[in-house]
């Protein structure tokens, strides 16, 4: 890829990631010939990776509504999937030990370059001890990243039991008790029970 082409990619990515991360991210895009798609907000996924088929190369999508630090972590998460696919062609678990190890290795240079604020870096390093399928499963990291959102973020664990709220599906629920890691919440219309993550983003009903 020419330097001009790399510059064009950097210009497109610039609004979405920390500036210091651009050279590394652009190099990955060049090295692995990644098509990056920046999407509108998706409620149930922050990013995904699609392996090559007969009509395309590697494709990574990331929600454009994420703050720069969450966007970068999500992008690295998906690059790790790409590398696992190159090594194993789908013969290992999506978020198994192979993915965990590659994700950790990819994050090292970003941490060394001090791309992230101190609080995000600290939470991220703790998360990297045993990274999960999504950073949103790590409460400490999710809440730390939320401090850098452009809009104020309210999580389910921030409200008291019995409160009524609107979930990502646009429906109203009542917060119930916590069972192990998730809260049991009742759908106001159907009276059915659903499990919610403590860091599910919600809106209060006024």
Range of the domain at 166: 156-204
CA angle 179, 132, 90 (to 5 degrees): 125
95 and 16 in a common domain: yes
Residues with Cβ within 8 Å of 177's Cβ and at least 6 positions away in sequence, in order, are 161, 183, 184
36 and 123 in a common domain: yes
140 and 83 in a common domain: yes
Residues with Cβ within 8 Å of 126's Cβ and at least 6 positions away in sequence, in order, are 138, 140, 141
Tell me whether residue 140 is in a domain: yes
130 and 69 in a common domain: yes
Are 203 and 154 in contact by the 8 Å Cβ rule? The answer is yes
Per-residue pLDDT of the chain (206 residues; tens, 9 = 90+): 778 888 889 988 999 999 999 999 999 999 999 999 999 877 778 999 999 876 678 999 999 989 999 999 999 999 999 999 999 988 999 899 999 999 999 999 999 999 999 999 999 999 999 987 776 678 899 999 999 987 777 889 888 999 999 998 889 999 999 998 899 999 999 999 999 989 888 888 76
CATH code assigned at 160: 2.30.30
Tell me whether residue 151 is in a domain: no
180 and 109 in a common domain: no
Structural domains in the chain (count):
2
191 and 116 in a common domain: no
């Amino acid at each position: 890829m020419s330097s001009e082409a790399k510059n064009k990619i950097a210009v497109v990515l610039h609004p979405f990631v920390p500036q210091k991360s651009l050279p590394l991210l652009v190099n990955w895009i060049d090295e692995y010939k990644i098509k990056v798609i920046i999407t509108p907000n998706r409620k149930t996924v922050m990013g995904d990776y699609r392996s090559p088929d007969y009509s395309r190369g590697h494709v990574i999508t990331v929600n454009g509504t994420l703050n720069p630090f969450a966007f970068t972590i999500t992008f690295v998460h998906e690059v790790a999937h790409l590398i696992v696919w190159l090594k194993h062609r789908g013969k290992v678990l999506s978020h198994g030990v192979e993915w965990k190890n590659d994700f950790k290795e990819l994050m090292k240079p970003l941490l060394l370059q001090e791309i992230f604020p101190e609080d995000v870096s600290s939470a991220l390093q703790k998360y990297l001890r045993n990274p999960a399928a999504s950073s949103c499963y790590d409460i400490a990291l999710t809440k730390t990243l939320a401090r850098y959102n452009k809009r104020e973020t309210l999580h389910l664990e921030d409200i008291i039991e019995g409160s009524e709220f609107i979930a990502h599906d646009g429906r109203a629920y009542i917060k119930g008790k916590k069972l192990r890691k998730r809260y049991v919440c009742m759908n106001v219309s159907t009276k059915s029970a659903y499990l919610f993550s403590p860091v599910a983003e919600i809106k209060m009903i006024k």
